[in-house]
Structure 1
Amino acid sequence: MPIALLALAVGAFGIGTTEFVAMGILPDVAAYYGVSIPTAGYIISGYALGVVLGAPLLAAVGARVDRKHLLIALMGLFTLGNLASALAPGFGFLLVSRFLSALPHGTFFGVGAVVAASLVPATRRAQAVSLMIAGLTVANIVGVPLATLAAQHLGWRSTYWIVTVIGVITLVALAGLVPRQRPSADASVRSELAALGRGQVWLALLVGAVGFGGMFASYSYISPMMTEIAGFAPTAVTLVLAVYGVGMTVGNLVGGWAADRALMPTMYAGLAGIAVVLVLLHLLAPYGAIAVVMVFLLGFAGSVLVPSLQMRLMDAAADAPSLAAALNHSALNFANAMGAWLGGLVIAAGYGYTAPNLLGAGLAMIGLVLALASGLLERRTRGGGGVPEGGSAGTAPRDVRTGGPAH
C-alpha cells in the first residue's frame, strides 16, 4: 500500500482521539469550570453538531481545490481548534473551540477516502479506505486510553495538547507524502450538491444513520451494562472498551478486504451481524467473560459495515465523491446521537440496561431492509438496460480523480 496512506491514518488517529477522549474527561472539565456533568456533556454534542454541519459545507466549498491542499487546510483548522481547546479560558470558549475542531472532521475523512481510493488499483479501493479509517479505530485502543491517562496525571488540558501535536505531525506528513490531486475540470459546488438528488445516495445515508444507530444504542451504555449487569468493577470498563476497539480495528480491515470482493453482500453481512450480536448481548450480558466476547463482536460487526458503506456512497455519487464520502460521517454522527438518545429513552422507561441492545437490533434490521432495497433497485436498473444513479454499477470502475474509467 502507498505510504501516503500513513499520513491519512495519522490524521484519522488524531481525530478519533479528540472525539472519543471527551467521554473520559467530562468530570474534570465540569469540576474545572464549575458546571454540572450534563452541562459539560455539551462538548460532546457540540462536536457531533460540528461534524454534521461541517461535512457537507466544507466538502462542497472545497470542490475545486487541489485535494492535497484541501486536506492540509482541513487538518490546519482541526489543529487550531484543538490548540484553542487546550487554552480555553472559559467553558463557552471551550464549546466554540470543540465545534470548530469538528467542522473539518467529516470532510477530512471524505476527501481522504477519495484520495486513498485513487492511490491504488480499483480492485483495492475499499482496502485503502479501510487502512485510513484504521487510524480512527486504533485511536480507541491506544490514543484514548493514553490521553485519558495523561489527563489523570497532567490535567484535562493535556489531552488537547497531545492532539495538537498529532495534528502538527499530520500536517508535515500530508505535505511530504500525499501527492497533489486536482479535481475534475467541471467540479463545482453545484455539481457536488447535485449528488443529493439521487435516491441511491439517500438510501446509503439512511443505512448508515439507522443501521449504525443500532450499534450506538448499545455502545453508548456499555459502561453501566458491564458494571451493573455483567458484574465488572468500574476500573475494568477501560479494558472492555479496549476490547471493543480491537474488534473495531479487525472488523474494519476485514470489511475493507471483503468490500473489494463483494460490496453489497458485505454491507448486508455487517448489518445482519450487528443485529445478531446485539440480541446475543442482550441475552448473555450477565455472563461476564461471554459478554466481553460479544462486545468484541459488536465492534467487529459494526466496523465491517463502514468501508462498504463508504464505497457505496462514493459509487452512488461517482462525480461528487468527496461530498458523498463526507456525508457518510455526518450520517454516522447522526447515528451516534440518535442511537444514544433512543437507548436512553428505553432505560429511562425502566426496561433496564440491556434493553438498548434489542432496540439496536431492531434499528440494524431496518438498516438491512434499506440496504436490500438499495440493492434490489440497482439490480432492476441493470436489468432494464439502464445505468444506476451513481453510474457505477454495470460499468467499469470509475477513477475518483477524473470521473472517468479507472485503469
Structure 2
Amino acid sequence: MGILQTLFGDDAAVLYERDFQLLLLASLSSPLGASVVSPILEGLTGPLGVSSARAGLLMAVFTAPAIVLIPLVGVLSDRVGRKPVLTGGLLLFGLAGLAVTLTTDFRSVLGLRFLQGVGYTGIAPVLITSVGDIFADDADAEASAQGLRFTAVGVSLTVFPVLSGALVVLAWQYPFYLYGLAVPTALVVWALFEEPTAADAVGPNGADAGHADDADKPVRDGSTRALLSLTTHPRVAATLVGRAVPSFLWFVFLTYNSVVVVRFLGGSAGVAGLLVAAASVASSVSSTQSGRITAAFDTRVVPMFASTTAIGAGVLALVFAPSTLVAGVGVVFAGAGFGLGLTLYRSALTGSAPVELRGGLVSLGESAGRLGSTVAPVLTGAVVAVAAPTLGPVDSVRWGVVGVVAAAVLVGVVSVAVVDRFDAPARSRAGTSTAD
C-alpha cells in the first residue's frame, strides 16, 4: 500500500474496501450524461434535422428531472435500499442511451434523454450516500472516500469527452454506445455489492443493541416528515444552501470559458477545451486530498471557506486574464476549489443525518447543486444582457460575471458562518453528534 499511502495518506486503505471499489466503478458512468453529448451537439444537428438551438434541448431535458426527482429517489433508497435503486438507475441510464442509436426522430431522442435523466437520479446521489454508509464511523476516511469517488468522476470527465469527439467522426451514433458501460456495471453491482446493515450503522460499540432483530437488514426506515424536520435545523439548512454555491460558480466558468478564450484572448476552441481539462484535473487532485486537508484543521469551516473563495477568485482571474497563461492559472484555482468544496459539502451532508435519513438528505443536497448549475448560466446571461448596452460586449461579460460571482461567494461565506455557529443535529441511531 506504499504508493497509495504516499498519494492519499493514511486513508488510502479505503481503496481496499470491495464495496467501495464497486462504487468507484459505478462512478465512471455517473458523469456521462452531459460529457458524452456536450462535445457532439453541433454534429447532431444534421442527423436529427434540427438547429443548434434545438439541439441544446438534449442537455436541458437530461438535467431537468434531477431537480425534482433526486429527493424522491433519495427517500426511496432509504426505504428499499441503495442497491436496487443504484442498479435500476444504471440500467435505465445505459439502455436509454443505447436506444438513441436506433432513431433519428428528434422527439424520440428527447424522450430517451429524459429517461436517461431519470436514471441518473438513481446513480450519483446513491453513490454519495453509499460512501457515507460504508465509512459512517470514520469522518476522515469518509471524506477521503468521497474525494476518491470524485476523482473517478474526474477521470471519466477527462477520457469520455475525448472518445465521444473521436467517435462522432465515424458515425453520429457511435458516441452513444459509450452509455453501454452502465449496463454491465449495473449487473456487477447487483451481484457483488453488499449494503451496510443496521448492525454496521451503529458503530463498533453496538450502541443500538436494542435493534438486534434487524441487525442483518439494510437500514431503510427514513420518513419524509423526519427528513423535512432535519432540513429546518440551521446547520443543515445552511449546508444545503452552501452546497449550491460550488456548482453555481463552476457552471459560470463552464459557460464563459470559451467566450473569454475565443473572443477576448483570440484563442481557439481547442485552447478552451484544454482549460476545462486543466480545471478538471485540479478538481480531481484537490478532492483526493480532502481527507488530509480536513484532518489538518480542528473544523471543516476553514477549508470550506477557502474552497468557496478559491472558485470565485479563479473565475474572476479567467474573465480578466490578459493571456491564456493567466487564464490557465485562474481555472486551476477554480478547479481546485470546486473539487475540495464539493467533496466537503457532500461529506458534511452525509455526516449530518442518521443513517435512515442519509439518502434523502444527500439527495436534497444534489438537487440544490443541480439548481445552482441550472440557474448559473441563466442568471449570468441575464445580467450580461442588461449590462451590454451600457458597458459593451466585453465589459458587460466581465462585470456581469463579477456581480454574480460576488453574490454567490457572499452566499457561500454566510452559509459557512452559519455552519460554524450551530452544532450538528443529534444522530438518532449512533447517538453521536457530528459537530466540528
TM range (shorter): 0.7 to 0.9
Measure, in 2, the Cα distance between the counterparts of 1:260 and 1:174: 31
Q: Which residue identity is paired with 2:112?
A: S
> Where does residue 385 of structure 1 map in the other structure?
none
Alpha-carbon deviations, 1:207-241, whole Å to 9, x = none?
A: 12245312322321211211122222223332222
Q: CA RMSD in A?
A: 2.5
Counterpart mapping for 1:268-279 below 5 A: 268-279=305-316
> Where does residue 395 of structure 1 map in the other structure?
none
Identify the range of structure 1 (167-176 vs 50-59) with the bigger mean alpha-carbon deviation. Answer: 167-176
Which of 253, 272, 277 is equivalent to 1:218? 253
Counterpart mapping for 1:350-389 below 5 A: 350=388, 351-352=393-394, 353-378=397-422, 382=423, 388=424
Measure, in 2, the Cα distance between the counterparts of 1:47 and 1:143: 17
Identify the range of structure 1 (187-196 vs 3-12) with the bigger mean alpha-carbon deviation. Answer: 187-196
1:324 paired with 2:361, answer yes
User: What is the CA-CA distance between 1:142 and the residue it aligns to?
Assistant: 0.9
User: What is the CA-CA distance between 1:269 and the residue it aligns to?
Assistant: 1.2
> Where does residue 207 of structure 2 map in the other structure?
none
Give secondary structure in 2 for the equivalent of 1:154: coil
Alpha-carbon deviations, 1:328-362, whole Å to 9, x = none?
A: 22122211111111222243342524345413431
Check whether the contact 2:168–2:174 (CA below 8 A) recurs between aligned residues.
Answer: yes
Which of 34, 38, 41 is equivalent to 1:23? 38
**Distance 1:11-1:337 versus aligned 2 partners, 3 A rule:** same
1:208 paired with 2:247, answer no
> Where does residue 171 of structure 1 map in the other structure?
186
Which of 158, 177, 189 is equivalent to 2:174? 158
**Distance 1:260-1:75 versus aligned 2 partners, 3 A rule:** farther
> Where does residue 245 of structure 1 map in the other structure?
280
Check whether the contact 1:10–1:170 (CA below 8 A) recurs between aligned residues.
Answer: yes
Give secondary structure in 2 for the equivalent of 1:187: coil
Alpha-carbon deviations, 1:124-155, whole Å to 9, x = none?
A: 11111222222222222111111222122232
Counterpart mapping for 1:2-401 below 5 A: 2-120=17-135, 121-122=137-138, 123-155=140-172, 157-164=173-180, 166-181=181-196, 182-184=217-219, 186-259=221-294, 262-284=299-321, 286-318=322-354, 319-348=356-385, 349-350=387-388, 351-352=393-394, 353-378=397-422, 382=423, 388=424, 390-391=425-426
**Distance 1:355-1:247 versus aligned 2 partners, 3 A rule:** farther
Give secondary structure in 2 for the equivalent of 1:48: helix
Name stretches of at least 5 consecutive residues in structure 2 with no aligned partner. Answer: 1-13, 197-216
Q: Which residue identity is paired with 2:65?
A: G
Q: Percent identity?
A: 20
Largest Rg, 1 or 2: 2
Number of matched residues?
386
Q: Which residue identity is paired with 2:95?
A: L
User: What is the CA-CA distance between 1:260 and the residue it aligns to?
Assistant: 5.4
User: What is the CA-CA distance between 1:192 and the residue it aligns to?
Assistant: 4.0
TM-score (norm 2): 0.81
Q: Which residue identity is paired with 1:223?
A: S
Measure, in 2, the Cα distance between the counterparts of 1:188 and 1:283: 48
> Where does residue 204 of structure 2 map in the other structure?
none
Measure, in 2, the Cα distance between the counterparts of 1:256 and 1:100: 35
TM-score (norm 1): 0.86
Check whether the contact 1:206–1:370 (CA below 8 A) recurs between aligned residues.
Answer: no
**Distance 1:240-1:278 versus aligned 2 partners, 3 A rule:** closer
Measure, in 1, the Cα distance between the counterparts of 2:59 and 2:294: 31
> Where does residue 201 of structure 2 map in the other structure?
none
Measure, in 2, the Cα distance between the counterparts of 1:85 and 1:403: 46
